[in-house]
Amino acid sequence: MLIGYARVSTVDQRLDLQRAALSAAGCERIFEDQAGGACANRPGLALALDVLREGDVLVVWKLDRLGRSVAQLVDFVERLQGRGVQFRSLTDAIDTTTAAGRFFFHVMASLAQMERELIAERTRAGLEAARLRGRVGGRRRSMTPAKIEAARKLLAAGTAPREVAASLGVSVPTLYRWVPGGIGSTGGVT
Protein backbone atom coordinates (compact mmCIF):
# COMPACT_ATOMS: atom_id res chain seq x y z
CA MET A 1 0.00 0.00 0.00
CA LEU A 2 1.19 3.54 -0.77
CA ILE A 3 0.88 5.89 2.21
CA GLY A 4 1.36 9.62 1.56
CA TYR A 5 2.69 12.27 3.89
CA ALA A 6 2.34 16.01 3.28
CA ARG A 7 3.58 18.89 5.38
CA VAL A 8 3.52 22.67 5.22
CA SER A 9 5.46 24.94 7.57
CA THR A 10 3.02 27.78 8.12
CA VAL A 11 -0.73 28.38 8.15
CA ASP A 12 -0.30 30.58 5.04
CA GLN A 13 0.92 27.62 2.98
CA ARG A 14 -1.49 25.15 1.40
CA LEU A 15 -1.36 21.38 1.08
CA ASP A 16 -3.29 21.24 -2.23
CA LEU A 17 -0.26 20.71 -4.49
CA GLN A 18 1.15 17.95 -2.31
CA ARG A 19 -2.23 16.25 -1.87
CA ALA A 20 -2.82 16.23 -5.64
CA ALA A 21 0.65 14.82 -6.39
CA LEU A 22 0.32 12.11 -3.73
CA SER A 23 -3.15 11.13 -4.96
CA ALA A 24 -1.89 11.01 -8.57
CA ALA A 25 0.97 8.75 -7.41
CA GLY A 26 -1.63 6.27 -6.10
CA CYS A 27 -1.51 6.91 -2.35
CA GLU A 28 -4.47 5.25 -0.68
CA ARG A 29 -4.14 7.32 2.49
CA ILE A 30 -2.52 10.71 3.01
CA PHE A 31 -1.47 12.07 6.38
CA GLU A 32 -0.77 15.76 6.90
CA ASP A 33 0.96 18.14 9.28
CA GLN A 34 1.20 21.87 9.60
CA ALA A 35 4.54 22.27 11.40
CA GLY A 36 8.04 23.56 10.79
CA GLY A 37 10.67 21.12 9.57
CA ALA A 38 12.52 21.27 12.88
CA CYS A 39 9.34 20.64 14.87
CA ALA A 40 9.46 17.26 16.60
CA ASN A 41 5.70 17.15 17.22
CA ARG A 42 4.16 15.91 13.98
CA PRO A 43 0.99 13.96 14.73
CA GLY A 44 0.30 13.29 11.03
CA LEU A 45 3.71 11.69 10.54
CA ALA A 46 3.25 9.67 13.74
CA LEU A 47 -0.09 8.34 12.42
CA ALA A 48 1.46 7.51 9.05
CA LEU A 49 4.23 5.57 10.78
CA ASP A 50 1.65 3.67 12.85
CA VAL A 51 -0.29 2.69 9.71
CA LEU A 52 2.73 1.57 7.66
CA ARG A 53 3.27 -2.17 7.49
CA GLU A 54 5.96 -4.36 5.95
CA GLY A 55 5.78 -4.04 2.16
CA ASP A 56 4.19 -0.57 2.25
CA VAL A 57 5.77 2.54 0.74
CA LEU A 58 5.86 5.96 2.40
CA VAL A 59 5.52 8.61 -0.31
CA VAL A 60 6.35 12.30 0.06
CA TRP A 61 6.14 15.09 -2.50
CA LYS A 62 9.65 16.30 -1.66
CA LEU A 63 12.44 15.23 0.73
CA ASP A 64 12.35 18.45 2.72
CA ARG A 65 8.83 17.56 3.86
CA LEU A 66 10.43 14.95 6.16
CA GLY A 67 13.57 16.59 7.49
CA ARG A 68 16.12 19.35 7.17
CA SER A 69 19.43 17.48 7.00
CA VAL A 70 20.68 14.61 4.89
CA ALA A 71 21.76 12.75 8.02
CA GLN A 72 18.28 13.11 9.52
CA LEU A 73 16.62 11.86 6.33
CA VAL A 74 19.02 8.94 5.97
CA ASP A 75 18.37 7.84 9.56
CA PHE A 76 14.62 8.12 9.02
CA VAL A 77 14.63 6.06 5.82
CA GLU A 78 16.95 3.46 7.35
CA ARG A 79 14.48 3.02 10.23
CA LEU A 80 11.69 2.55 7.68
CA GLN A 81 13.70 -0.05 5.79
CA GLY A 82 14.41 -1.84 9.06
CA ARG A 83 10.65 -2.32 9.31
CA GLY A 84 10.41 -3.55 5.71
CA VAL A 85 8.88 -0.25 4.54
CA GLN A 86 10.15 1.42 1.37
CA PHE A 87 10.37 5.13 0.62
CA ARG A 88 9.59 7.33 -2.39
CA SER A 89 10.08 11.06 -2.95
CA LEU A 90 8.18 12.20 -6.03
CA THR A 91 10.09 15.34 -7.01
CA ASP A 92 13.54 14.10 -5.95
CA ALA A 93 13.33 10.85 -7.96
CA ILE A 94 14.18 8.67 -4.98
CA ASP A 95 12.43 5.32 -4.86
CA THR A 96 13.91 2.61 -2.65
CA THR A 97 11.68 0.01 -4.34
CA THR A 98 14.02 0.18 -7.37
CA ALA A 99 17.69 -0.74 -7.70
CA ALA A 100 18.60 2.78 -8.88
CA GLY A 101 16.68 4.34 -6.01
CA ARG A 102 18.39 2.12 -3.45
CA PHE A 103 21.77 2.97 -5.01
CA PHE A 104 21.08 6.70 -4.84
CA PHE A 105 19.89 6.38 -1.27
CA HIS A 106 23.05 4.48 -0.29
CA VAL A 107 25.18 7.19 -1.91
CA MET A 108 23.30 9.76 0.20
CA ALA A 109 23.79 7.59 3.30
CA SER A 110 27.52 7.34 2.59
CA LEU A 111 27.78 11.11 2.20
CA ALA A 112 25.89 11.65 5.45
CA GLN A 113 28.20 9.20 7.24
CA MET A 114 31.25 10.99 5.82
CA GLU A 115 29.81 14.32 7.00
CA ARG A 116 29.34 12.95 10.55
CA GLU A 117 32.91 11.60 10.58
CA LEU A 118 34.36 14.88 9.30
CA ILE A 119 32.51 16.79 12.01
CA ALA A 120 33.87 14.40 14.63
CA GLU A 121 37.42 14.78 13.25
CA ARG A 122 37.15 18.58 13.30
CA THR A 123 35.82 18.50 16.85
CA ARG A 124 38.67 16.26 18.04
CA ALA A 125 41.24 18.47 16.27
CA GLY A 126 39.74 21.60 17.81
CA LEU A 127 39.79 20.10 21.30
CA GLU A 128 43.39 18.96 20.85
CA ALA A 129 44.44 22.41 19.61
CA ALA A 130 42.74 24.00 22.62
CA ARG A 131 44.51 21.57 24.97
CA LEU A 132 47.86 22.45 23.40
CA ARG A 133 47.08 26.13 24.08
CA GLY A 134 46.45 25.22 27.73
CA ARG A 135 42.66 25.34 27.61
CA VAL A 136 40.65 22.63 29.28
CA GLY A 137 37.19 21.75 28.03
CA GLY A 138 34.07 21.52 30.10
CA ARG A 139 32.44 23.80 32.61
CA ARG A 140 34.49 26.12 34.78
CA ARG A 141 34.98 24.66 38.23
CA SER A 142 32.81 26.25 40.87
CA MET A 143 35.40 25.61 43.59
CA THR A 144 38.73 27.32 43.01
CA PRO A 145 41.75 26.56 45.20
CA ALA A 146 41.10 29.83 47.07
CA LYS A 147 37.47 28.84 47.74
CA ILE A 148 38.55 25.37 48.94
CA GLU A 149 41.04 26.94 51.36
CA ALA A 150 38.40 29.41 52.59
CA ALA A 151 35.92 26.58 53.07
CA ARG A 152 38.42 24.60 55.14
CA LYS A 153 39.13 27.62 57.35
CA LEU A 154 35.45 28.42 57.86
CA LEU A 155 34.59 24.81 58.63
CA ALA A 156 37.53 24.55 61.06
CA ALA A 157 36.21 27.66 62.80
CA GLY A 158 32.85 25.89 63.32
CA THR A 159 30.78 27.56 60.60
CA ALA A 160 27.90 25.35 59.48
CA PRO A 161 28.42 23.70 56.06
CA ARG A 162 25.19 25.27 54.77
CA GLU A 163 26.49 28.76 55.62
CA VAL A 164 29.91 28.01 54.13
CA ALA A 165 28.32 26.78 50.90
CA ALA A 166 26.05 29.85 50.71
CA SER A 167 28.94 32.26 51.29
CA LEU A 168 30.95 30.59 48.51
CA GLY A 169 28.01 30.47 46.11
CA VAL A 170 27.92 26.67 45.82
CA SER A 171 25.59 23.92 46.96
CA VAL A 172 26.25 21.81 50.06
CA PRO A 173 26.87 18.68 47.90
CA THR A 174 29.46 20.64 45.90
CA LEU A 175 31.12 21.68 49.16
CA TYR A 176 31.20 18.04 50.33
CA ARG A 177 32.67 16.98 46.97
CA TRP A 178 35.55 19.48 47.17
CA VAL A 179 36.25 19.14 50.89
CA PRO A 180 35.87 15.35 51.24
CA GLY A 181 36.02 13.94 54.73
CA GLY A 182 36.62 17.40 56.13
CA ILE A 183 33.11 18.01 57.39
CA GLY A 184 32.00 16.30 60.58
CA SER A 185 28.48 15.87 61.93
CA THR A 186 28.82 19.09 63.96
CA GLY A 187 29.71 21.07 60.86
CA GLY A 188 33.39 21.38 61.69
CA VAL A 189 36.49 19.79 60.18
CA THR A 190 37.18 16.24 61.32
CA distance 140 to 148: 15
CA–CA separation, 134 vs 130, rounded Å?
Answer: 6
What is the C-alpha to C-alpha distance for residues 90 and 187, in angstroms, rounded to an integer? Answer: 71
- In whole angstroms, what is the distance from residue 164 CA to residue 184 CA? 14
Is 9 a known active-site residue? Answer: yes
Alpha helices (H) in the chain, listed in sequence order = 16-24, 43-51, 70-82, 99-132, 145-156, 161-168, 172-178
Instruction: Supply φ then ψ for residue 23, to 5 degrees.
Output: -65, -45
Among 9, 23, 167, 185, the one annotated catalytic: 9
Q: Say which DSSP state 81 is in.
A: H
Residue 52 CB neighbour total at 10 angstroms? 20
DSSP secondary-structure letter at 5? Answer: E
What residues act catalytically? 9
